[in-house]
Amino acid sequence: MDPGTSEPRLRHELRDQDAAWCLGRYTFWWVWPSIRVANEKGRLSQDDLPLLPRADDPELLFQKCAALWKMQKSERSAREKDSAQLLWSICWRIQRRVFLYSVLHGWTFLFFMTIDPLMLRVLLSAVQDMGTVSIATQFLLVGALSLSMLVRVSCMEICFFASVRVQNNVRSVLVHAIFRKSLWIPEHLLDVGKIANLMATDADKIGKWSGLLFELSQWSWTFCSLPILVYFLYGLVGSAAFIGMIMIILGATTSRSLGLALQHYTRKVQDCRDHRARLMSEMVRGMRTVKLQVWEPVWLERISEARGLEMKAICRVRILQAFNSLVGSVLSVMVPVSVFAWYTLVNQNNLTAATAFTALAWITTLQWSVQSLPGIYNTVANLKPSLTRIDDFLTTPITELSTPYGAPAPNGALPSSVELRPMAQLAQAQHRSMDSRDSWRSEPWLDEHRPCQAP
């Protein structure tokens, strides 16, 4: 782009969400300059995008996280490692403002979604019983419902956008931490295939969980508002409300059982992937020997067998995910069917339009929790193995790591061809630590003032 023409104007107009004015945030007007430039030029380059906020700088985020991990030594020295603590520290402890920004907007969205059926019931009752409510009040209710929908959609989009932002930062911190630690691992201890999978598969999978905070606000609001929703639904359809609750509990139990099975097979997928990557790394390192000894068919068979095992494990995971989603969808349909069937057939009540549409609105609010149950257990099953693998890699002291092929290092001794200076620094860090379980907190890769260097 010509710096003498439109560049100063564009850089002045482009701004990130944090610098945008209030109404511009809720209407996403702050991205309009980029859209206008893309339409004028027919393409969108990196210079036309808003600058990355300072708070989202990967180096700054890692420094905050490293300082936090160092301070947590006294707090968690007697605890066992918990992979959920790793995600919590990155999502909440170093991104509290964006975290609360997303969750609060999610709660606002769900609050308006909860009160909409109340206004809808008054409006439908007024239409059904002509003359009970004035025309002006009916227009006021219609306007309130329209405004509620506008606010609801805006808050939902803001919540999801902030959730994506938080998860992108989580991925940046994890990749940064894994890469920094790998630079301090001696070559004979370095499992290139596993580290590549940790960054390209595990950390990327966690970063792609873009709806984390949106789902968190949804789950937390469901637990808080569920008694209120059941109360209003009971006042509308009577004992049929408890039939809907039974269907929800049944769906939660089924989804949890499927999620536990899915978690087991997801861990197998990661292990198979590590094994295949390890074989590939070993073959590439010894490519000259493979060519001289004509071992291409042997290695092809070994790698194909490893890939076949990986594909079988992936197939099991995909089938369980599809079945879990199918169960959740069927149960979400069964909730209104069972409620209306019990209301009309057992309670012998007439299903009026006001009752039907209001009950559907309440059930739709309940279905947010029903439909999210398969996603909850699928997400936990998919991400927990990845979180555990990353947590094990980051929190295991380098001197306690095993070799890439499973044989432990002989009392930490190094071959003569390996550079000894970084390991001497690591030994000093280990000596300063009183608890071996927390000795990783003193390792040099967490020190932002110390340059990364390969052994």
- The answer on 37 and 78 residing in a single domain is no
Say if 438 falls within a structural domain. Answer: yes
- Of 186-190, 262-266, 394-398, the range with the highest mean pLDDT is 394-398
Q: Which residues fall within 8 angstroms of residue 159, CB to CB, at 6 or more apart? A: 102, 103, 105, 106, 109, 213, 214, 217
Say if 451 falls within a structural domain. Answer: no
pLDDT of residue 436: 52
Say if 103 falls within a structural domain. Answer: yes
Mean pLDDT value of segment 417-444: 52
Total tally of structural domains belonging to the chain: 2
Residue 147 predicted with pLDDT over 60: yes
Mean pLDDT value of segment 47-75: 80
Mean pLDDT of the chain: 77
- The answer on 77 and 32 residing in a single domain is no
pLDDT of residue 251: 74
- The answer on 177 and 44 residing in a single domain is no
The string of pLDDT tens digits covering residues 201-248 is: 888 888 888 888 888 888 788 777 778 888 888 888 888 888 887 887
- The answer on 90 and 18 residing in a single domain is no
Residue 105 confidence class, pLDDT cut points 50, 70, 90:
very high
pLDDT of residue 108: 92
Q: Taking the complete model, does pTM exceed 0.85, yes or no?
A: no
For residues 237 and 227, what is the distance between their CA atoms, to the nearest angstrom?
A: 15
- The answer on 127 and 17 residing in a single domain is no
Residue 272 CA from chain centroid, whole number: 23
pLDDT of residue 179: 92
Mean pLDDT value of segment 74-102: 71
Say if 454 falls within a structural domain. Answer: no
Mean pLDDT value of segment 155-180: 91
- The answer on 359 and 315 residing in a single domain is yes
- The answer on 155 and 280 residing in a single domain is yes
- The answer on 64 and 39 residing in a single domain is no
Residue 403 predicted with pLDDT over 80: no
- The answer on 325 and 382 residing in a single domain is yes
pLDDT of residue 11: 46
- The answer on 83 and 46 residing in a single domain is no
- The answer on 68 and 43 residing in a single domain is no
Residue 304 predicted with pLDDT over 70: yes
Looking at residue 62, which CATH number applies to its domain?
1.20.1560.10
Residue with the bigger pLDDT between 413 and 226: it is 226
Say if 263 falls within a structural domain. Answer: yes
Q: Which residues form the domain of 314?
A: 58-446
Say if 2 falls within a structural domain. Answer: no
Say if 453 falls within a structural domain. Answer: no
- The answer on 124 and 13 residing in a single domain is no
Say if 140 falls within a structural domain. Answer: yes
